[in-house]
Structure 1
Amino acid sequence: MGDTNPKAEEDHQHDNEHNHEHGGIFGAKTELIFSILSGITLGVGFLLTFADGIPDWVSFALYLCAYFFGGYFTAKEAIETVVKGGFEIDFLMLLAAIGAAILGEWAEGALLLFLFSLGHALEHYALNKARKSIAALADIAPKTAIVRKGNEQKEVPVEELQIGDIVIVKPNSKISADGVVIKGNSSVNQAPITGESVPVDKYPIEDASLDFTKEKNLPSSENRVFSGTINGSNVLEIKVIKEAKDSTLARLIKLVNETEETKSPTQQFTDKFEKYFVPSVLVLVGFLLFAFLVIDETFSESFYRAMAVLVAASPCALAISTPSAVLSGVARAARAGVLVKGGSPLESLGGLTALAFDKTGTLTEGKPKLTEAVPFQKTSSEELLTAAMAVEKLSDHPLAAAVVAGATDRVGDSQIDEASELQAITGRGVKANWNGEDVYIGNKGLYEEDLSVQVPEELANTLDRLETSGNTAMIVRKGSTFLGIIALMDTPRQGAKNVIARLKDIGIKRVIMLTGDNQRVADSVAKEIGITDAWGGLLPEDKVDAINKLRQQESQVAMVGDGVNDAPAMTKSTVGIAMGAAGSDVALETADIALMADSLDDLPFAIGLSRKSKKIIRENLWVSLGVTAFLIPATIFNFVGIGLAVLVHEGSTLVVVFNALRLLGYKKT
């Protein structure tokens, strides 16, 4: 993941690129209408040259009209560029048209401007399809919301919504803000944000008084709703947890729009190529202007050839070949609930040879459940679970919540003394004081390595049995007495095995699971879902080392996680991919690619789209470079004139643009 400077990229883009989005007396269609008028006046003027009795000045006047309509926006762009201290393709084309006029070839110059303006108008129209696909995201946001104040309801603009406001969402209407459901049950269509085709059931949250602006208090998916999604058949009351400008939809729109400001490796290459190519062409044109001094021809013939080469060598198709494909690919991904942050990750994703997954919440459900409580010697199950529950109540670790929930179901929690002085022992377990004694809950390493206490053989055997069957097992010790073992299991995601198989089918050689669980648990899960490599017992910093190691072994490695705890490892990977990013601001910021839905199914689609994008970019480069390689010698040796050169030139530009637009129709299998 390379660091980018969006502002610098934006300035660079605005200084060096034009998208030809012109307005005028006919609005956005002005350029196309002017181009058509140029073609009509050119055609009529040319036909009149064959009519008897029509003065020559009539055709000449029509050619001048064709020059005006065809050259208006070309001249406008050229002047704007020159004022900024540079020159572009528009300037070269204008120069060639002026040269044709000097030679008296008004019809040919008008043809050049007509075809050039028509090509750019169609290019603008085509690229606008991709931009509109992205802009459509902004249209899904509702403009107003119904806010409840006491017993009164008032309709207000969404911009006026404040955190904590209660919003009423009627059946089959759009949800106006990111929030949590506090009243009502309904199914919500989240496709506009996450790409999920099936509506998601939503339920009221138990404690609506929490501060949901803090990441740790974010509600689960069944309690949370997003701006722009569509409510089902029941009324919902929602507590706003984000202002409109900070909503998931607003951030998504902002990030998608920023993708045009970042350049892919191929685009960076073509930029460097153009940097040396264009001056070389100008030097060549300069020499050709004086060819009449060396070979037997007039200055007019040399001048005409130079202008033809100028047209032939203008890298118009090359300049648009990569941006058009990137824009179309990003737009298609966004429609499917996959946020791709620019051309670099779009291209890199398609070249992956290895995928590293965080286990918990990515390959598994992330909702571990207490499966077994095995007391040791004279300890009762109730005593074991009570001690574990008292300590884990103080912890905010996901496993702690599972222990408390499971223990409460089995023994209740009505008369449990509170523990105190909780200490987390990273990668090992926890320690707290309960009823005057220290209670430790953790893995075997906690006792034998940190505390230098030998785990009894019977307990160790039980631990091995539980871990071999895929459980995460923890030993509980109070004072100097081992109370027993509690075991939890986080089940693999439904469909994870199928997704892993599909990834292998599309060419991913290695699928690696990184987890803090011990190696036996890792191996058990890996075997169940088809993982090729399982690396267990990893601390957060170990995952970073694991990614560094993988990058030495494989050419391209992606890290897939939730974008929160996995952010350091994502930073070191070729591409960082966050799942369930619609629920996490951190995931949206840290990942190169964000799967808005909490689903693995979007991963093969994203990789397939990337590979298709790379294929189209390669095709576009071959077309643009091939046409240039043909036209330059063809115009130098007078096989092709200005008219045919601009026809082929603009034709190749349209070919690469419409080829790129095929990505908008890429199918999700």
Structure 2
Amino acid sequence: MTDKLRLELPILLPEAADACDHCVTSLIAVLEGRPGVSEAHVDKSEAGEGSLCIHYDESQIRLGQLRAFALQAGATLNDRFGHFAFELAGGVHARSARRIADGLRGQVGVLAAEVGPTGRGFVEFDRAKTDEDALRASVRAAGARLLVRPAPTDRQPSGVNVEGVVHEHHDHGSGSGHVHDKARVPDPAHERHDHGASAKLATGHEGHDHAAGDHDHAHGGVFGERTELIFAVLSGVMLLAGWLIGQRLPGVVQLIFYGAAYVFGGYFTLKEAFENLRKRRFEIDTLMLVAAAGAAALGQWAEGALLLFLFSIGHALEHYAMGRARRAIEALAQLAPERATVRRGNQTEDIAVEALKIGDIVLVRPNERIAADGVVVVGESSVNQAPVTGESVPVDKRAAAQHDLDFAKASSEHRVFAGTINGSGALDVRVAKKASESTLARVVKMVAEAEAQRSPTQRFTDRFERIFVPAVLVGVGLLMLAFLVIDEPFSASFYRAMAVLVAASPCALAISVPSAVLSGVARAGRGGVLVKGGGPLENLGTLTALAFDKTGTLTQGKPRLTDVVPADGVEEHELLAVAVAVEALSDHPLAAAVVRDGEEKLGQTPRLKAEAVKSLTGQGVQADVSGKAAVIGKPGLFESGEGPKPPAAVWSEAQRLEAAGRTVVVVRHGDRYLGVLGLMDTARPAAKVVIQRLRTLGIKHIIMLSGDNQSVASAIAKELELDEAKGGLMPEDKVAVIKALKEKFGKAAMVGDGVNDAPAMANATVGIAMGAAGSDVALETADVALMADDLTHLPFAVGLSRRTSGIIKQNLWVSLGMVAFLIPATLLGLKIGEAVIFHEGSTLLVVANALRLLAYRAKTV
């Protein structure tokens, strides 16, 4: 489905056409070809203002991703667009979740709405057309109850995880009458405010949102979250009691117990069926009630009670299984401490993490969980970052210099994350993000949203059910008339029709896909991999082509001095001494590599001093060393510049190193050529093994894309045994390569850093960002985010996706296969009781199969 929604982003179009092109066309390039986006164009007004109009399908791309792409190009989303995330009491069944989501989508102004079987959901909406109150009312109208976080106070902390929380996210500064500044580019993190209900509502129940007149207790009924399970057990007890009594006293007493079994077993089923019928929907619950009522009409009270007992116990166990997967995700949120020790002058104070402000200094004691994202300013320690990034080995941390306190730019040795565990040293951490904006909080929110996202297979099963269930009702109606065609009493035809009704109910099908997706997303999150829903999870599990960015992904992103070749008659230490002296005055990345590695090679050799440095733009650098001009630059500088030309031997070495994939600089001191230096961005130590592991997982075609020259790219590709390397690429060239891969292989993934590679990642079937922890842009734009800057997490993500895809297929075969078996079996005489045992058994089987994903272990790389 395409061209489903039209979204207008206000932008400021400068008078200079070139500037306009640079700003806006870069965004259009990002969106062009993105799955889910059918068109993007600019509508310009006479005043120079305009809007970027995007036609997109919300089932394939999230509004949050569009927002992140827009921010990269300088466009800004209007304050009209809001984001409402919520959780329902006790979770819901997959069918109820679908009904609630459909009700929300039917509201005017709702752009996208999803509700997952764990009870979490999110809505993206237009504030000009609807608001949160209307959305809450829609949820209540569907028969569900919202849970609300009490307003956090300093005395009663409220961490990231409070079971049953409603998060209401607002873009900062929005509100009625607010004038939107089209030229302003907001912070990509989008300041968010959590609005809870009052600490205690008028009903006296803390943290629950009740509709007027709604006296239901939390989590589903009089016994709390276990009410459905207890009712199901009571139904079974009543059924057993009725059967035992019937052995001695058949009659009214037996019917009373069977009737009680009907009440306890059918209560929640009737409630759900009523809501479905009110919405003019025929669901599985309706089929079960009709079958149970039919059994009672035939006097088969025992079989009808057995049907409702098994159906209700199956529902309750589904809830338990979904709750287990939900708790696996909630465990992420529980990692963040609720309180922090803050240094205020010479005093320390214990406060709630929500009260932390950017710039506060938090004291982290040994073996304590870190309370906030920030930069270490005092102390040294090692930190276990596995809860956020999945890294198996603690990472050493030390204090950053005053000029390195920018969290986004700080290196990993200075940056820490909320929820990670400090080692044996004490640290002082300068807070860089509020509790609601920490990396952990953002991951928890995004994983919760991912739970609700429906995968392509789930959309197929939803469509299948909507056609299949009415078809079953029509078929059952015709079977009831079989006595008119064959010689049998009406009761026999009616009983057979009820048995077919039970057999044809696709309960297992309804839960088979969401249970697997939920378990896969939960397991990935626990392993430091953020997967944005079932779509990316399924796609990653089936693709066969993958493209890597080179710099910082397959390579370390830090050039190293790999070759030192002195000219004839020149000592190595002389060449290095002059090169280090000159490059020490340059801020170029290659210069830093020459200085770092050159000083290491020089050891105790006395250093030279350079002065009067002069940059030769795009070619090299010049300075005075020991009274002579020293020039360091590309070989072409000396071929066409002033001064003597390089000797044949020096020129030959330069060409040899370039052919070997090195970045080459020539060093001249006065009129003497001292030699040639070769630099190279070396491959990550684990890169080759990771690529081999990916091949064993079924990735057949692996290539590398780079902006470096072709010889450099080819050298790295040969070392890592890649299928192909493409060098000298501009961003638009990378997009073209990705499109070509998709045409050839059907699906293709792009692995990059989530910032520079955004256009290519956006056009890939699956965009994978590496080292996304702390990077707002990478977290927002990627379909899959590897939280750690660790390439070894990629095989884990691919392997888990492969396993998830396999389990989804297994579940589909089991669920559809059971329906295909039971329908002819009931037509040939299988009784209702036997049919329901097979029916509910298959439901529990697919859920148990899906839960195996929570224990997934990747092979070590």
1:18: how far off? 8.0
Which amino acid in 2 is paired with 1:140? L
Provide the alpha-carbon RMSD of the alignment: 3.5
In the TM superposition, what is the alpha-carbon distance from 1:102 to its structure 2 partner?
Answer: 2.4
CA gap 1:297/1:590 in 2 versus in 1, 3 angstroms: same
Q: In the alignment, residue 107 of structure 1 is paired with which amino acid?
A: A
Q: Spell out the pairing of 1:44-63 with structure 2 (5 A cutoff).
A: 44-51=241-248, 54=249, 56-63=251-258
Q: Does 1:14 pair with 2:89?
A: no
Q: CA deviation at 1:530?
A: 2.3
CA distance in 2, matches of 1:650, 1:561: 45
Change (3 A) 1:408 1:311: same
1:90 shift after superposition: 1.4
Give me the TM-score of the superposition, normalised by structure 2. 0.69
Structure 1 residues 339 and 380, CA, compared in 2 at 3 Å: closer, same or farther? Answer: closer
CA–CA distance in structure 2, aligned partners of residues 13 and 567 of structure 1 = 35
Give 1:508 shift.
Answer: 2.2
Match of 1:658 among 838, 841, 848: 848
Q: 2:837 aligns with which of 640, 647, 655?
A: 647
Summarize the alignment of residues 131-530 of structure 1 with structure 2, pairs less than 5 Å apart. Answer: 131-207=326-402, 209=403, 212=406, 215=408, 218-371=409-562, 390=585, 392-393=586-587, 398-399=589-590, 401-402=592-593, 416-417=611-612, 429=618, 461-474=652-665, 487-530=678-721
Residues 358, 431 of structure 2: 8 Å contact kept: yes
CA distance in 2, matches of 1:138, 1:188: 18
Range that drifts further, 333-342 or 227-236: 333-342
SS of residue matched to 1:287:
helix
Asked whether the 8 Å contact 1:373–1:385 carries over to 2, the reply is no
Q: Does 1:25 align with 2:222?
A: yes
SS at structure 2 position matched to 1:491: strand
1:552 equivalent in alignment to 2:743:
yes
How has the CA–CA distance of structure 1 residues 662 and 590 changed in structure 2, closer, same or farther, with 3 Å as cutoff?
A: same
1:466-505 Cα deviation digits (max 9, x unpaired): 2344422257999xx9998654222221222222222223
TM-score w.r.t. length of structure 1: 0.87
CA contact (8 A) 2:530 2:784 kept: yes
User: Does residue 797 of structure 2 align to residue 618 of structure 1?
Assistant: no
Deviation readout 1:366-399 (Å, 9 max, x if unpaired): 2223456779999987776666555x52x6xx54
Equivalent of 2:775 in 580, 584, 598: 584
One-letter amino acid of the structure 2 residue matched with residue 202 of structure 1 = K
Q: Distance in 2 between matches of 1:12 and 1:414?
A: 72
In the alignment, which residue of structure 1 is the partner of 2:231?
Answer: 34
Aligned pair count reads: 648
* Contact kept? 2:582, 2:610, Cα under 8 Å: no
Deviation at 1:430, TM superposition (A): 6.8
Q: 1:152 to 1:445 in 2, by over 3 A?
A: same
What residue identity is the alignment partner of 1:212? D
8 Å Cα contact 2:579-2:632 kept in structure 1:
no
Q: Secondary structure at the match of 1:175?
A: coil
Q: Secondary structure at the match of 1:365?
A: strand
Tell me, in whole angstroms, the C-alpha distance in 1 between the residues paired with 2:344 and 2:647: 63
Instruction: Map residues 36-115 of structure 1 onto 2, 5 A cutoff.
Output: 36-51=233-248, 54=249, 56-115=251-310
> Contact conserved, 1:473 with 1:485, CA < 8 A, in 2?
yes
C-alpha distance in structure 1 between counterparts of 2:595 and 2:735, whole Å = 31
Between the aligned residues of both structures, percent identity stands at: 58
- Give the secondary structure class of the aligned counterpart of 2:444: helix
Distance 2:631 2:436 in 1: 46
Give the AA of the match of 2:313. L
Alpha-carbon distance between aligned partners in 2 of 1:341 and 1:15, rounded to the nearest angstrom: 18
Q: For the structure 1 residues 174 and 560, does the alpha-carbon distance in structure 2 shift closer, same or farther, using more than 3 Å as the test?
A: same
Q: Hey, what's the Cα distance between the residues in 2 that align with 1:578 and 1:293?
A: 65
Corresponding residue for residue 13 of structure 2: none
**Structure 1 residues 19, 93: closer, same or farther in 2, change over 3 A?**
farther
Amino acid at match of 2:389: T
Cα shift at 1:541: 2.5
SS in 2 for 1:538: coil
- The one-letter code of the counterpart of 1:320 is I
Give, in whole Å, the separation in 2 of the partners of 1:8 and 1:548.
34
Contact 1:9 1:262 in 2 (8 A): no
User: SS in structure 2 opposite 1:569?
Assistant: helix
- 1:262–1:343: 8 Å Cα contact kept in structure 2? yes
2:79: which partner in 1? none
Shift of residue 112, structure 1, vs aligned partner: 0.9
Name the CA distance, whole Å, in 2 between partners of 1:404 and 1:540: 31
Aligned equivalents of 1:414, 1:448: Cα separation in 2: 27
Return closer, same or farther for 1:433/1:93 CA change in 2, 3 Å cut-off: farther
The aligned residue for residue 142 of structure 2 is: none
The amino acid that maps onto 1:142 is: P
Q: Which one is further off, 516-525 or 377-386?
A: 377-386
1:249 offset after TM fit, Å?
0.2
Q: Is the 8 A contact 1:174 1:229 kept in 2?
A: yes
Q: Report how far residue 537 of structure 1 moved.
A: 2.1
Task: Tell me which amino acid in the other structure corresponds to 2:335.
Answer: I
Among 36, 44, 61, the alignment partner of 1:4 is 61
Name the CA distance, whole Å, in 2 between partners of 1:387 and 1:666.
Answer: 54
Moved more, 303-312 or 198-207: 303-312
Deviation per residue, 1:127-177 (Å, 9 max, x gap)? 221111111101111001111111111111111111111100001010000
Give 1:79's aligned amino acid. Answer: F
Contact 1:375–1:381 (Cα < 8 Å) also in 2: no
- Residue 499 of structure 1 aligns to a residue whose secondary structure is helix
Farther-moved stretch of structure 1 (54-63 vs 149-158):
54-63
Counterpart residue type for residue 57 of structure 1 = V
Is contact 2:306-2:833 (8 Å) kept?
Answer: yes
Q: Distance in 2 between matches of 1:18 and 1:206?
A: 45
What secondary structure is seen at the aligned counterpart in 2 of 1:196?
A: coil
Instruction: Determine which of 571, 580, 595 is the counterpart of 2:762.
Output: 571
Partners of 1:113 and 1:577 in 2: CA distance: 46
Gaps of 5+ in 2: 1-33, 36-59, 64-82, 87-96, 103-114, 120-218, 625-629
CA gap 1:653/1:97 in 2 versus in 1, 3 angstroms: same
> CA 1:297/1:511 → structure 2, altered by over 3 Å: closer, same or farther?
same
Q: 1:619 to 1:372 in 2, by over 3 A?
A: closer
Q: Specify whether residues 24 and 445 from structure 1 end up closer, same or farther in structure 2 by C-alpha distance, changes over 3 A only.
A: farther
Structure 1 counterpart of 2:66:
none
Shift in Å, 1:455: 9.8
Shift, 1:456, TM fit: 9.2
CA contact (8 A) 2:522 2:854 kept: yes
